[in-house]
Structure 1
């Protein structure tokens, strides 16, 4: 009996040690920026910013957002979930037709720092395929759900032809918690700087939701940016105009 107990204990120690050594490494922001595979924001003196929306498209809120963006001649990037695209393809089509950028946010919106490479590959590929079937091309940008990132996630993204886009950490208004519209707008406008990437969400609640503080806060935010000389551009335009990447970027290699 004692020998069996020791054997089980030894197996447990081995398994625990194995798990510790196989968890994907997470490097510092500086390391990832040097490698050029992850972008939080850009350093530029030009008054350009990128507003991004996660988790959609939503059948009610996304069209409302598109109307406000058009009103201020602003362009945005939509990090869409494949399962939402499947349900609301006409909304995705409208996003593209109005000159906004579409990016990959996985298919099932999986929040898991320890996601396997094969699962993430499948999530990215499935989302790419449904997007391509609607607008005719695959996106080149990807945002991990919840901003979770490590070497495995980033390497998998790069192997799938993706650049990982996060956001300026001080410009997460946490609108998914549905705070007051004034709080959302104030959080963004008080901290905005040239080259920032703003995080918002066009999917809040369910498809049947009819009220979004994000939509209300967006109008005030864009009015402020317009009055203060800012131009809202897509993430790709922000990167190209800041000379962060060029057309050959996606020939780079994964992290070693």
Structure 2
């Protein structure tokens, strides 16, 4: 069944496309869109969007190495082009690289052609630098609809969002303790945690160390998103995890 519909504008000569957004349950049952893992094992996936940043990403990598933690970096192609050495370090240290488009457009009217171009440009710059092909994609700002998801899936991507309860909104630059407290107090096995490594991120760097210290003292392991998927059953079509409304 397709959920995308075409609506003809009655007052102009040019047709436009209205992209339908289906329910989380409908998307999750396909196995193509994932919000978190489904496991009792004490594993979580910490993710970073928008980088790499020439200053903050290396600091983040130092902290991850200190705790032997693995992360997934949803990189923007134009930032990768400017910081190729950091991308190589991420890969060499065992982290996962995922596609977050090239120009980081937040576009509610995203077309299949534009998204395809954005994904292809990012794939190319990553391949040219590291001979690495991402298999995961995160929409900018988490914005998703049938056009965005279907386009990504046709290009071979699994679409990764994040646990609804694990967005500490570090992009608003709250105090470090607010970021870490949000993550720790909301913690569940299988969480996909959303953070960012672009723009002004000293708060995120400080909060990361506090968070990792807590996780490892309490028996949690930080793994890549692909590892989280492999070790849980979210990659199976038909899976859907229900949560109480918060």
| Paired positions, count | 230
Q: Which of 139, 151, 169 is 1:156 aligned to?
A: 151
CA distances 1:69-125 after superposition (whole Å, capped 9, x unpaired): 011110000000000000000000000000000000000000012111000000000
Deviation at 1:17, TM superposition (A): 11
TM-score (structure 2 length as normaliser): 0.90
Q: Does 1:244 align with 2:234?
A: yes
Which portions of structure 1, spanning 4 or more consecutive aligned residues, are displaced by more than 6 angstroms? none
Gaps of 5+ in 2: 1-7, 238-246
The structure carrying a bigger helix percent of its residues is 1
Deviation at 1:154, TM superposition (A): 0.5
CA distances 1:136-187 after superposition (whole Å, capped 9, x unpaired): 1210000000000001000110111110000001110110111100000001
Gaps of 5+ in 1: 1-10, 206-210, 250-256
- Residue 198 of structure 2: aligned partner: 203
Deviation at 1:12, TM superposition (A): 7.0
- Alpha-carbon distance in structure 1 between the residues aligned to 2:144 and 2:114: 15
Task: Give 1 or 2 for the bigger CA radius of gyration.
Answer: 1
Q: Does 1:124 align with 2:119?
A: yes
Alpha-carbon contact 1:204-1:212 (below 8 Å) kept? no
- Alpha-carbon distance in structure 1 between the residues aligned to 2:13 and 2:192: 39
Closer/same/farther in 2, CA of residues 226 and 12 from structure 1, 3 Å limit: closer
Deviation at 1:243, TM superposition (A): 3.3
TM-score (structure 1 length as normaliser): 0.86
Residue 120 of structure 2 aligns to a residue whose secondary structure is: helix
- Alpha-carbon distance in structure 2 between the residues aligned to 1:80 and 1:60: 15
- Alpha-carbon distance in structure 2 between the residues aligned to 1:114 and 1:151: 12
Residue 204 of structure 1 aligns to a residue whose secondary structure is: coil
Bigger drift between 74-83 and 130-139 goes to 130-139
RMSD of Structure 2 on Structure 1 (CA): 1.8
Deviation at 1:14, TM superposition (A): 3.7
Map 1:108-187 to 2 at 5 A. 108-187=103-182
Residue 170 of structure 1 aligns to a residue whose secondary structure is: coil
Bigger drift between 76-85 and 154-163 goes to 154-163
Q: Does 1:231 align with 2:221?
A: yes
- Alpha-carbon distance in structure 2 between the residues aligned to 1:230 and 1:106: 31
- Residue 252 of structure 1: aligned partner: none
Q: Does 1:23 align with 2:13?
A: no
Map 1:91-106 to 2 at 5 A. 91-106=86-101
Q: Which of 41, 49, 58 is 1:54 aligned to?
A: 49
Alpha-carbon contact 1:154-1:164 (below 8 Å) kept? yes
- Residue 242 of structure 2: aligned partner: none
Deviation at 1:42, TM superposition (A): 1.5
Residue 221 of structure 1 aligns to a residue whose secondary structure is: helix
- Residue 219 of structure 1: aligned partner: 209
